[in-house]
Structure 1
Amino acid sequence: MIGTLINAGAVIFGSLLGNLLGARIPERVRTTVVSGFGLFTLGYGIQMFIKTQNALVVVGAILIGSLLGEWWQIDQHLANLGVWLEGKFNNGGNNTSSKRFIKGFLTASLVFCVGPMAILGSIQDGLTGDSSVLVVKAILDGFAAMAFASTLGLGVIFSAPLLLVYQGSISLLAVQMQSLVSNAMITEMSAAGGLILVGLTIGSLLELRPIRSANFLPALVIAPLLVLLLGAFGLY
Structure 2
Amino acid sequence: MPIGIIVNCLGVIVGGIVGSLIGPRLTGSFKDNLNLVLSACAMTMGISSIFLMKNMPVVILSIILGTVIGLTIHLGKLTQKMGMGMEKIISKIIPCKHNKDEEYSNVLVTAIVLFCASGTGIYGSITAGMTGDHSILLAKTVLDFATALIFACVLEMVTCVIAVPQFILFMILFLLAGAIYPLCSETMICDFKACGGVLLIATGFRMMKVKNFPIADMIPSMALVMPFSYLWVTYVLPFVS
Asked whether the two chains share a fold, i.e. TM above 0.5, the reply is yes
Corresponding position of 2:29: 28
Q: Which amino acid aligns with 1:84?
A: G
The equivalent position to 1:212 in structure 2, one of 207, 211, 214, is 214
Contact 2:98 2:155 in 1 (8 A): no
Please give the residue correspondences for 1:65-214 in structure 2 after superposition, counting only pairs within 5 Å: 65-90=66-91, 96-97=99-100, 99-202=102-205, 204-214=206-216
Aligned equivalent of 2:8: 7
Q: Confirm whether residue 226 of structure 1 aligns to residue 228 of structure 2.
A: yes
Structure 2 letter corresponding to 1:136: A
What is the alpha-carbon distance in structure 2 between the residues aligned to residue 179 and residue 41 of structure 1?
Answer: 29
* CA separation of 1:154 and 1:98: change in aligned 2, threshold 3 A: farther
- Compared with structure 1, are the counterparts of its residues 226 and 65 closer, same or farther at alpha carbon in structure 2 (3 Å cutoff)? same
Q: Is the 8 A contact 1:86 1:98 kept in 2?
A: no
Per-residue CA deviation, residues 31-79 of structure 1 (Å, 9 max, x unaligned), is 1111221122223323322321111111100011011111221110010
Q: Is the 8 A contact 2:118 2:199 kept in 1?
A: no
Query: Displacement, 1:114?
Result: 4.0
Residues 152-211 of structure 1, C-alpha deviation per residue, up to 9 Å, x if partnerless? 433322221121122112212211223202221111111111111222222x31212332
- Which residue is equivalent to 2:49? 48
Q: Secondary structure of the equivalent of 1:216?
A: coil
1:109 is displaced (CA, Å) by 2.0
Q: 2: CA distance between counterparts of 1:108 and 1:85?
A: 13
Contact 1:104 1:149 in 2 (8 A): no
RMSD (Å) for aligned C-alpha atoms: 2.3
Query: Amino acid of the residue matched to residue 161 of structure 2?
Result: F
**Structure 1 200/139 Cα, relative in aligned 2: closer, same or farther at 3 Å?**
closer
Output one character per residue of 1:65-117: Cα deviation in whole Å (capped at 9) or x when no partner: 01111122111001001221222223576883354543343222222234453
Looking at structure 1, the residues matched to 139 and 41 of structure 2 have their Cα atoms a distance apart, in angstroms, of: 17
Deviates more, 1:28-37 or 1:225-234: 225-234
Instruction: Give the Cα separation in 2 of the matches to 1:12 and 1:183.
Output: 33
CA contact (8 A) 1:82 1:101 kept: no
**Aligned residues with identical type, % of pairs:** 24
Letter in 1 for 2:72: W
Q: 1:153 to 1:31 in 2, by over 3 A?
A: farther
Contact 2:75 2:216 in 1 (8 A): yes
Query: What TM-score comes out, normalization by structure 1 length?
Result: 0.89
**CA pair 99-141 structure 1, distance change in 2 beyond 3 A:** same
> Does the Cα contact within 8 Å between 1:61 and 1:226 map onto a contact in 2?
yes
Q: Distance in 2 between matches of 1:3 and 1:228?
A: 28
The TM-score with structure 2 as length reference comes to 0.87
